[in-house]
Structure 1
Amino acid sequence: MLVLYFLLACFALYYIFKSNTPRGLKKLPSPPGHFFQIGREPHKKFTEWARSLGDIYGVHMGQQYWIILTGDKVVSDLLQKRGGKYSTRITSYYTYDLLTRGKSYFGCPYNERYKMLTPIMHGALGQRNIKENSNLLDDEFRILMQNLCKASTNAKDGFYPKYCFQLTSLNIINLLCLNKRTESTEDPYYKEFETLMGEHSEIAKITNRLSEFFPIMKLIPNYSLRNKIIENRTKIEAFFEKLVKEVMDSKEKKPCIIRNLLCKKDEGILDDLDVIYLVYVIFAAGTDTISSSLTWISAALANNPEVQYKAHQELDRVIGHSRLPEVSDELNIPYTRAIIKESLRYCAPIYLGLPHGIEEDDEYNGYHIPANSVVILNQYGIHMDEKRYENPKEFKPERFLGVTESSAALANGNYENRDHFGFGAGRRLCTGIHMAEMELLLGVSRLLWCFKIENASPLDKDGKPIPIDLDKIRFGITVWPEEYCVRFVKRHDNVEKVLSI
């Protein structure tokens, strides 16, 4: 083992000191660290380095060179204004071929295939389709509130709401993709889906991909890991192939996303695996990010009862107690909207996003940007930047009260006016941003209309609940808070009556 670590260290030093910087350009600043110093919280280490090195710097990750962007302006200058250069993925056999047979949409390089798939994905998750299905979202978020009422009755000491949120987000994607839903987290279908996604997330961890950074490790094949990858891939393909077949065999022929993808297959644009993996991407992204966001928001609100109080006052004044908030109420509930924006800044479900890449040399402010660099958007670091957000560690929705535009509109405008970077930036901006905003509006406004969210943690020496520690996370592509316990207390006698209408 010591010999292996020595070889890895030599390999890292070789790449650190190897110089291909063109004459007249400078190397990007680099930290006095490397792969092994990043630790289990890379977002914090990258942010710490940014505070001393600046908004753009490079770090050697074995043979890979990562460029970390931790400033709004540099993100705008590179990912937006030079989007054609910075929109690819620096892929590897492991992440792109072995995990998904080269069929991943998110991992696809910025090539002709990606440009062909993008309008298909926008057609499935774009603004027009979401508006046409707004009644579907309305129904599912009503059912979510009913489920939270039941769960609260059955668990008077509180519970972890993640699975309620996950069931709702899964049902929305189910209905959009194949016109079906599942009633319970105990349903075998739900359990199979969650198990598959959990296995996939575990396999894709960076600690399982060391050979991407240190090719010398390929000399020591990990057959056990390879077999796990292929087994998980086989199960995922079988799961989604079964869903596609359900749509093909359905006699009702109702329009849905899978049926639209099958039409593209009939036209010769997609093949069978394309359809399976596009459905997989829609399910994975559409369930994880929204359920994670709502899980974070519930914890942040439980820690901040004064924020809830202000939102309750607004909702009582604008909505009253005789109906639920609707999408059409959005502009009339600015404080509730500000809570959503602040949540996506303060505790977004994405900290570092999916890496961008550049395939050719570039120059920025006199610095050399080497070809084949991995480019990381450090959303966490930008969101915790005191120059951009005063007292960033405070949960303070008031900072967004004057912002009337949607996050989707702001993401394509002047970087100085952006509310947050939770949906990414540039041409790889989240495809489902319009659906996510509508889901969060319905989810958060109805949570606050129906409930007071109380922290059910153990009490401290003064008899007060210990605040939920939002620094304790489960880190992956999507970031989750560690399990916590809250109570959803009905705010008035009309809640269940309105929910049953």
Structure 2
Amino acid sequence: MGQQYWIILTSDKVAGELLQKRGGKYSTRIPSYYLYNILTRGKSYVSCPYNERYKMLTPIIHGILDQRNIKKNSKLLDDEFRILMKNLCKASTTEKDGFYPKYYFHLASLNIITLLCLNKRTESVDDLFYTEFEDLMGKRFDLVKATNRLSEFFPILKLFPNNNLYNNLVENRENVEALYRKSIKDVIDDKEEKPCVVRDLLHKKDEGILDELDVIYIMDTLLAGGTDTVSASLTWLTATLANNPQIQSKAHHELDRVIGQSRLPEVSDEQNLPYIRAIIKEGQRYCGPIYLGIPHGTEEDDEYNGYHIPANSVVILNQYGIHMDEKRYENPKEFKPERFLEFTESSATLAKGNYEHRDHFGFGAGRRLCSGIHMARISRLLWCFRIENTSPLPINLDKVRTGITIWPEEYHVRLVKRHDNVEKTVTPVILNATL
């Protein structure tokens, strides 16, 4: 690509050999992420090179999103899932011609992260925090698109700087920081001192471990990274299930047999719901929210299988290519949860082992593995609803909206409550939220 080598890994074996076994050589980020570095003052965890700062931040990020912390906040997450189901119940009643569920999933995903980070939630997609966050993230992703990064590939273009682009990058950065500073100030001003991630980060700031911008951009990493990927996954999977009523029927049978119709599924039920677990794994393979992983980089020359890999190359995991590999997955364009029924371990556990035994590569590979790997859940949606396509034709999953995350083109579904206990079960929450 111009003067820069790009190496695309479309083989599970090569991804395992390079990103896992030689992770020390392939775990950095590339200097060509300079637009994103302007946006984040070089403080982003996502684009941080594999250096001492990255090693310092990694246990902090992983500590926030590990299973123990999620379990500690299970009541908080449980309430938010109930609110999501309640809002979907309302939509299924009022939107007779169906609706696009993306915004319900997006609001719920954002609230889960803001509750963990800030002990605050957003009542509606019309609320100021939500609209500001959506607007700023949308502009950010537009600013770093490939057409704005041509000078990474053709250095001569640096002789003709785009001052308008630079000014827009700085403006977006300042607006993002102002939004987060206000949220952090709300935590500082909270007289009850309710526990949250940002309060813990502020303690580390007082101890001299972090500075103000570290706190802001750790928060940015969590909010930006934890909202789009989760909501995109659910939006894809809802469309896929609408196209496959026979798969829904099998899932409903398992849920009714194991859970019954008087309570919602809990995290502790997962081991007893192998078909639901298989649906989630197949969803990440078949219609994951990312086609190409965030670029890795090489800091030194390497040799692999007769190939010379120069230093400062871009190395990208082609998740979509691996997931559609017929040698690894029989009939890969078919949504078939049964292929994962024998996979009893979590994706997090499998991702740390041999590449041959992995279920999918939806959460990345190697040392830069996605930190939010434990958070995906679909069982409650299926416990509550039968998902119906409102069109006589299947939803076209080949039509996509591309970006850092991949979204299906807008579609409409109808969510039909499966039994009389749905609203009664999701209603008793302290919080009161409507979309």
Query: In which range does the TM-score fall when normalised by the shorter chain?
Result: over 0.9
Structure 1 residue corresponding to 2:414, chosen from 487, 490, 493: 487
- Indicate yes or no: 2:387 matched with 1:453: yes
Q: Deviations over 1:85-114 (max 9, x none)?
A: 100011236334311111110000000110
Map 1:86-235 to 2 at 5 A: 86-92=26-32, 94-235=34-175
Whether the 8 Å CA contact 1:96–1:103 is kept in 2: the answer is no
- Indicate yes or no: 2:287 matched with 1:360: no
Amino acid at match of 2:359: D
SS in 2 for 1:454: strand
Query: Highest CA radius of gyration, 1 or 2?
Result: 1
How far 1:197 sits from its partner (Å)? 1.0
How far 1:470 sits from its partner (Å)? 1.1
Structure 2 residue corresponding to 1:346, chosen from 286, 295, 298: 286
SS in 1 for 2:132: helix
Corresponding residue number in structure 1 for 2:431: none
d(CA) in 1 for partners of 2:34, 2:161: 13
Whether the 8 Å CA contact 2:297–2:314 is kept in 1: the answer is yes
Higher mean alpha-carbon deviation, 103-112 vs 132-141, is at 132-141
Amino acid at match of 1:451: F
Corresponding residue number in structure 2 for 1:425: 365
How far 1:214 sits from its partner (Å)? 1.1
SS in 2 for 1:168: helix
Corresponding residue number in structure 1 for 2:432: none
- Indicate yes or no: 2:401 matched with 1:401: no
d(CA) in 2 for partners of 1:200, 1:415: 34
Higher RCO (CA < 8 A, seq sep 6+): 2
d(CA) in 2 for partners of 1:403, 1:92: 38
Amino acid at match of 2:372: G
d(CA) in 2 for partners of 1:364, 1:218: 33
Amino acid at match of 1:477: I
Map 1:240-279 to 2 at 5 A: 240-279=180-219
Whether the 8 Å CA contact 1:261–1:275 is kept in 2: the answer is yes
Corresponding residue number in structure 2 for 1:45: none
SS in 2 for 1:433: coil
Whether the 8 Å CA contact 2:255–2:273 is kept in 1: the answer is yes
d(CA) in 2 for partners of 1:497, 1:255: 30
4+ runs of 1 displaced by more than 6 Å? none
d(CA) in 1 for partners of 2:189, 2:427: 34
Structure 1 residue corresponding to 2:332, chosen from 386, 392, 399: 392
d(CA) in 1 for partners of 2:68, 2:209: 22
Identity %: 75
Whether the 8 Å CA contact 1:451–1:491 is kept in 2: the answer is yes
SS in 2 for 1:68: strand
d(CA) in 1 for partners of 2:92, 2:36: 43
d(CA) in 2 for partners of 1:424, 1:188: 33
d(CA) in 2 for partners of 1:93, 1:498: 47
Corresponding residue number in structure 2 for 1:48: none
Structure 2 residue corresponding to 1:336, chosen from 258, 276, 283: 276
d(CA) in 2 for partners of 1:178, 1:376: 33
Whether the 8 Å CA contact 2:248–2:386 is kept in 1: the answer is yes
Amino acid at match of 1:466: L
d(CA) in 2 for partners of 1:245, 1:75: 43
Whether the 8 Å CA contact 1:96–1:108 is kept in 2: the answer is no
Q: Deviations over 1:262-296 (max 9, x none)?
A: 11111111111111111011100111111111001
Q: Deviations over 1:24-82 (max 9, x none)?
A: xxxxxxxxxxxxxxxxxxxxxxxxxxxxxxxxxxxxx1111001111111111100001
SS in 2 for 1:424: coil
Whether the 8 Å CA contact 1:179–1:254 is kept in 2: the answer is yes
How far 1:129 sits from its partner (Å)? 1.0
Corresponding residue number in structure 1 for 2:425: 498
Q: Deviations over 1:418-438 (max 9, x none)?
A: 00000000000011212x2xx
Q: Over aligned residue pairs, what C-alpha RMSD do you find? A: 1.0
Whether the 8 Å CA contact 1:352–1:379 is kept in 2: the answer is yes
Amino acid at match of 1:383: H
SS in 2 for 1:452: strand
Amino acid at match of 1:467: P
Corresponding residue number in structure 2 for 1:44: none
How far 1:299 sits from its partner (Å)? 0.5
Q: Deviations over 1:126-175 (max 9, x none)?
A: 22211111111111111100000111112110010000001101111111
d(CA) in 1 for partners of 2:301, 2:139: 37
d(CA) in 1 for partners of 2:243, 2:194: 44
Corresponding residue number in structure 1 for 2:220: 280
Q: Deviations over 1:377-406 (max 9, x none)?
A: 000000000000000000000000111000
Q: Deviations over 1:225-270 (max 9, x none)?
A: 2221111111101011111111111111121100111111111111
Whether the 8 Å CA contact 1:383–1:389 is kept in 2: the answer is yes
Structure 1: any 5+ residue segments left out of the alignment? 1-60, 458-464
Corresponding residue number in structure 2 for 1:476: 403
SS in 2 for 1:160: coil
Q: Deviations over 1:303-332 (max 9, x none)?
A: 111110110111111111111111111011
d(CA) in 2 for partners of 1:200, 1:96: 9
SS in 2 for 1:218: helix
Aligned residues: 428
